[in-house]
Structure formats: structure tokens, C-alpha cells
Structure 1
Amino acid sequence: MGDLDGMTFLVTGANTGIGKETVRGLAGRGARVVLAGRSEERTRAAIREIAAETGNADLDFLPLDLGDLGSVRAAAATFLDSGERLDVLVNNAGLAGRRGMSASGFELAFGTNHVGPFLLTELLRDHLAATGPGRIVIVASTGHYRAPGIDWDAVRRPSVTRTAFDEYCVSKLANVLHARELGRRLEGTGVTTYSLHPGAIASDVWREVPFGMRHLMKLFMKSPAEGARTSLYCATSPEIAHQSGRYYDDRREKQPSRVVTDELAAELWERSVGWVSAG
């Protein structure tokens, strides 16, 4: 028996890295976890590994490609049609170091890291509120401090920087802004929101970075298990159950970038609603 018995968590990007370690931590405490991701083969392998280690087999796969808004809608519909409760949504999946456009017509990092998770959250948030006190956790990054703001035209065009790191930082700024505005809009519903920096983690988020550079970067990074600690803290800690819309680093609240304002958060929200309504 664990302290999360009877609770259901949905974790995106759950078959590797921080997401997988987050699932491992939740399953070890008795939670039911739905693992959302693109690869059924890799996700089911992760499920078998975690079930064998924790003794908790209450783990399921949900197909989801966050770069494709059609896939996001299908995943949300599949989950909602199941009729099961949802206590916590962990928007963990992320992409960095790859240039291009998402299937739904956004700069690749922005579309995958913000627009897809925004739509998934919108489709599931009423169900979260109906389940009872719940949480929405958004894995951002300290990289958001590097973003000077959001160029609304650039997020609808292919990546332009060589490493796409600047674009990644903008997508992470969007994550922090999303949690802030979502927290305001969900006030009084019993659902609280959190954004966080997991640390510089040697995970598959860097899978598109050239091998030599990726190998060097990972020598100075924390393990995925260490990276999952703040995600687990935001998803389960009773200490912050009544806080919402705030940003965390190393299991502590931290002041986000000065660019994170109520005005920019509200503008991102309105534009995101328009994008997902048209996409």
C-alpha cells in the first residue's frame, strides 16, 4: 500500500528520461499511471520494467504526438472515454536541439513543448476539476530566463538558429507563462498549477543535438532520477497543495524571469486558444 493509492496520474513523455523516473516514483507509491507518448514499443517496455521493479502493474499506454494537434485530440478523447478519474496531469514531454516545423504548423520546439501541451491541458482540465482537488504540472526549464519574450510571427515559422536552443528557451518561457495564467483561471476549482526547472538533466530531450556535443553536455548533467525530484514534489507534496501558478527549482519556489508577467501570460493564453481552435 502506498500514499498515492486510488490516485490516477497522466504523464507525457513517460517512456524515457525524467518522465520515466517520474512514473517510477509515482508507481512506487501506489499510483495508477497512464504513460502518454509516441512509441508504443518503448512505452510498453518501460511499463514492464517499472511494474517488475515496483510491483505496481496499474500502468497503461496512451498514444500521443504533441506536435500533431489531431493526435492530441485523439489522446484526450481516448482518456475521457475511459471514464476514469484524473488527479494529476504532468506535462513532461519536451524536445530540444532539433530544427523545423511541427505537424500542426509551429516552430518545432514551440509546437511540441507548448502548443500541444496547451491543447491537451484544455481538453482535460474540466475532468481534472470534476475529479476533485487536482494538479497540473508543467516541466519548463531555467532556459526560460534566456528568452527575451515571444516573437508571435517566429513561432509560426521554421527554426532559424543553428542549434534551435533559442527557440527551445522561448518554448520554456511559454511553459512558465502557461502555468501562471492557468493558475489564475483555475482559481476556486480545486485544481492547482506548477511550472518547474528539473535541473540540467542527461535525458532524451537532447536527442537531436549532434552526438559529440550531446556526449560532452551530458558529462556535466544530473541523472534523470535526480531530475524527477522536483516534478514529483510539484505533483504530490502537501506543502504546496494550496499554491498555484508558481515556478519551482530544486523543490523550492523561485522567482521566474522578469519577462513572466500577467500581461504576457494573458496574451499567450488568448493566442494559444486561437491557434488550437484553428488547428
Structure 2
Amino acid sequence: MSYLKLNGKVALVTGANSGIGAVTARELALQGYHVFLACRSINKAQTVIQEIQSLTYGQAKVEFIALDLADLDSVRRCAQSFLTRDLPLHLLIANAGLAGQKGLTQSGFELTFGVCHVGHFLLTKLLTEKLIESKPARVVVVASKAHRHVQSINFNAVLKPTNSFGGLKEYAVAKLANILFAKELGRRLYGTGVTVYAVHPGVVSTNVWRAMPQPLVKLISHFMISPEEGAKTTLYCATQPQVAGDTGFYYEDCKVKVSSHAAQNINLANELWEQSLNWVEQ
């Protein structure tokens, strides 16, 4: 039996009950992090926790924390629940996402945008002080190269139910928002000891596609990579010393890549920030 060496660092991973999030949580736990799996389903999270514990002979520090990103009150409870533990926070991984589901979140946002961006925006805002206090700390936002399919964000459309066929346009908007958010957060936290990274994990075979028409999923699944492959860039940005000084960049295949023109629009990033602040403070 090998002894797991805990590294004294704490990580919170959203959507850690499946796919890339589960792999990310597992790998961080194996590196000695105390990992919080922030997700909706305690049963699914328990399966991942049991898998991690079996790999580490019960030595890993992993636990479930309830989070529904579609419900901003749930986001507030999650942050509060973490903060009452009085632990440091060295790593926040905004990983949870969905594609192709339609409707509105409980808090009144287009479903994909509300979960992928607004929920994560509020969670990060509520944990920012703790991240600064725990420096050096990192925030990794899982985005997608799908952000290249849109040129801007319609701030009225994101307050209405999903409109496009298959919801892929809304997915692209949400992922553009992820990159703009990472860029603006990196700018605002510059010099605080907290660095921020946006990543495209690759087109990964996970249940993010669960609401898409199955024939389409079957077709694109031939081009998908495994969650293990997909988690590589997240883990690279989360743990590698060589990127410790970088902030606000966008990564694919463990390398900095140039994001779309819209994703580099500083005015749009600032507008998204102000709108998001307004939404979460209502």
C-alpha cells in the first residue's frame, strides 16, 4: 500500500460528478489536494468519491458540496457552506456545463448561459476574497472553441428561453462569455496572487451532450476524445508551475492559443462583467 501525501491545498471543482470534472477531481485528489466536488447529485458525486477513495486506500480528502448553478440561491448556499469551513481555497475550477438543453434557469437566464456563465460568475465572486487570502491561487474556467461561432453577446437574448435549433448558438454564446469572464477576472485580479485561465478541453465524450439529438451525438462521438484526454489542459493550467505567472489567457492542448476577435474585446468583457454584477445582485 502506497501512502498518499496530502499537499495542504484545497480545490473546488464544479460539475465533478462526471466527465472531465470527475477526472479533474480524481487527479487533483491523487496529487494530494483536498477536493470539494460541487454538483447537484450527491449520489453521482458519491460514486466518484468512492472511486477516488478506492484508489487511495481511503487516504484522499474528497467531499461533496451541493451546487445547482441554475439556481443563484443554491450558488450562494454553496459558497457560504464552503466559507463556514474556514479552509483556504487554492484552486477553483469552473468546469460544469451543458449543451443543447433548452429553457430558462430557475433564476431567469437562458439555460446554458445561466449555468455556464452566470452561476459560475456568482460563485467566483463570492469566493474571490478567499482565493486572494489563500494566494497563490488559480481559477480555471472550462470554455470551448465553440466560442468562435458567435461574434457578440445579445444581452436581451440571454434573459429569454433557448431559441436556436439544438441550442448550439446559445452554447457558443455561453462559452464566449466564459473566455471574456476569465480575461476580465484576470485583469481585475492582476497582482493579487490569483491567476485565471480559460481552457478548451477538446470535443470530449461526456454527458454535457445529454440533451442533444442522439443520432447527432452518435455521429460526432467518432471525433470525440476521452474525459481523461479532455482534462489534460484543465490540469495543466491548474497545477503546472510554468504557467503560474500567466493570467487571462486561453489554452488549447496545454498551449496558449489566440481566441476569437470577440473573445478579445475588452469593452465586451467589461460590459459582460457589469451586466453580470447587476444580475447577481438583484
Band of TM-score, shorter chain: over 0.9
Displacement of 1:3: 7.7
Which residue is 2:158 aligned to?
155
C-alpha separation in 1, matches of 2:31 and 2:110: 38
Query: What amino acid maps onto 1:60 in structure 2?
Result: E
Query: What amino acid maps onto 2:273 in structure 1?
Result: W
Contact 1:24 1:54 in 2 (8 A): no
Map 1:37-186 onto structure 2 (within 5 A).
37-55=39-57, 56-186=59-189
Query: What amino acid maps onto 1:49 in structure 2?
Result: E
Counterpart check, 1:267 vs 2:271: yes
Displacement of 1:218: 1.5
Moved more, 209-218 or 95-104: 209-218
Query: What amino acid maps onto 2:234 in structure 1?
Result: S
Which residue is 2:9 aligned to?
7
Cα-to-partner distance string for 1:64-119 (whole Å, 9 max, x where unaligned):
00000000000000000011111000000001011110110000000000000000
| Secondary structure at the counterpart of residue 86 of structure 1 | coil
Q: Please, what TM-score do these two structures have when normalized by structure 2?
A: 0.96
Runs of at least 4 residues off by over 3 Å: 1-4
Query: What amino acid maps onto 1:271 in structure 2?
Result: Q
Cα-to-partner distance string for 1:3-54 (whole Å, 9 max, x where unaligned):
8611110000001000001011111111110000000001011100111123
Contact 1:35 1:60 in 2 (8 A): yes
| Secondary structure at the counterpart of residue 84 of structure 2 | helix
| CA RMSD across the alignment | 1.1
Moved more, 1-10 or 236-245: 1-10
C-alpha separation in 1, matches of 2:221 and 2:19: 12
| Secondary structure at the counterpart of residue 158 of structure 2 | helix
C-alpha separation in 2, matches of 1:216 and 1:254: 27
C-alpha separation in 1, matches of 2:44 and 2:121: 24
Q: Please, what TM-score do these two structures have when normalized by structure 1?
A: 0.97
Residue identity (%):
48
Q: 2:29 aligns with which of 18, 27, 38?
A: 27
Contact 1:134 1:190 in 2 (8 A): yes
List alignment gaps of at least 5 residues for structure 2. Answer: none
List alignment gaps of at least 5 residues for structure 1. Answer: none
Cα-to-partner distance string for 1:150-198 (whole Å, 9 max, x where unaligned):
0011000001111000000000000000000000100111000000100
Which residue is 1:240 aligned to?
243
Q: Against the structure 1 CA distance between its residues 180 and 4, is the aligned structure 2 distance closer, same or farther, given a 3 Å change threshold?
A: farther
Q: Against the structure 1 CA distance between its residues 4 and 238, is the aligned structure 2 distance closer, same or farther, given a 3 Å change threshold?
A: farther
